[in-house]
Structure 1
């Protein structure tokens, strides 16, 4: 597979597949393709994995696209202004991504639900409890809302992230939720009551324009209209 990413800040990844090569994507992610690309809708791993994908914010089924006869082209566009990141998934390099962060991948990549071990990450972290796990082997493309900032955390090193700004992290990272210190800070600080703390070792990808923050900003103006 060959690919190129164009069109920032409204990016699209355009993939060129050799005859017989395939890609998987969530329902509705394909933007355009050549006529020789054959689509097959599949549960991709059975009923258990399909149900798990629903919990992680994806669809029950996935679409598999295969180039038949000759070289084929297929494109996947981001659903929100931002970035498309290319991730090399290996058995030693899995990735945890936000809900609906998965865009497309080679067929060797497995998509499953990922539950945080600490329940507080789900009840108070918003995006933290149920995420997606990419494992297996192959190239994967993920959507980032806004610009992508990457940090490599050493063992024990941590960073505090506001809810929604964590786009992805290595499966070696851990995440927990802690309350903002001080009653006055909680009530009048404007940053919410809880913070997400991500601890290394591993890589994290932060996004500068989470769609949840955009929705909150628009809510004030929509209420006045």
Structure 2
């Protein structure tokens, strides 16, 4: 099985070691370096229908990279499009993950990234993928990236977690999630006014049992410093 290792603290690389005939897939353009025994090619992974849905309902690419060790063992380095941390997650038949737009980096060949329907609130207002969101299922390692630093929260029954929707990277598919406004008191109108004036916008409320990966920066409002 390919070995995934995060290398570096600031804007890290994803280092993957492959044995002969092993392969991984990654977001288009993620490969930075690979050794000579490896081969990279573009694939319409999951079939034409899934590829079209992935492209037109999220920030993911129509084509994905497949990296395979065809000539022997070899290593490669991958990098996400936005600067930030990389988190490694274990996908199993009993532990799948839902992904926010643009957060997928790479995975074992035993993992599939499938489209599934979002909640009505998430589809209309969520910022996490519209009416169709991506879910990682199967068996193997999954690498996701967040804009800025990342942190993993454990959600337990009776202790709901509220997260700004633009800071969610990935979460256990077993979790129940609802899109809404932060609780500020004063009823619906008061919550709406406070949501606008505080700049917090919409939130996702997670409940149940599972994990949530969050990132420190919001790419929707981030403005890089002007060149001098």
TM bracket (short chain): 0.7 to 0.9
Preserved contact between residue 56 and residue 114 of structure 1 (Cα < 8 Å): no
Deviation at 1:19, TM superposition (A): 0.8
Deviation at 1:188, TM superposition (A): 2.5
Matched, 1:188 2:190: no
Residues 173-225 of structure 1, C-alpha deviation per residue, up to 9 Å, x if partnerless?
Answer: 12212234515414432323x3321222211111111322324xx5xx77xx9
Partner of 1:160: 162
Structure 1 runs not aligned, ≥5 long: none
Structure 2 runs not aligned, ≥5 long: 183-187
Q: Does the residue aligned with 1:10 lie in a helix, a strand or coil?
A: coil
Preserved contact between residue 176 and residue 198 of structure 1 (Cα < 8 Å): yes
Partner of 2:208: 200
Partner of 2:15: 14
Preserved contact between residue 5 and residue 11 of structure 1 (Cα < 8 Å): yes
Preserved contact between residue 38 and residue 71 of structure 2 (Cα < 8 Å): no
Deviation at 1:143, TM superposition (A): 0.5
Q: How far, CA to CA, are the matches of 1:187 and 1:42 in structure 2? A: 43
Preserved contact between residue 22 and residue 67 of structure 1 (Cα < 8 Å): yes
Partner of 1:102: 104
Preserved contact between residue 24 and residue 64 of structure 1 (Cα < 8 Å): yes
How many residue pairs get aligned? The number is 217
What is the RMSD computed on CA atoms of the aligned residues?
2.1
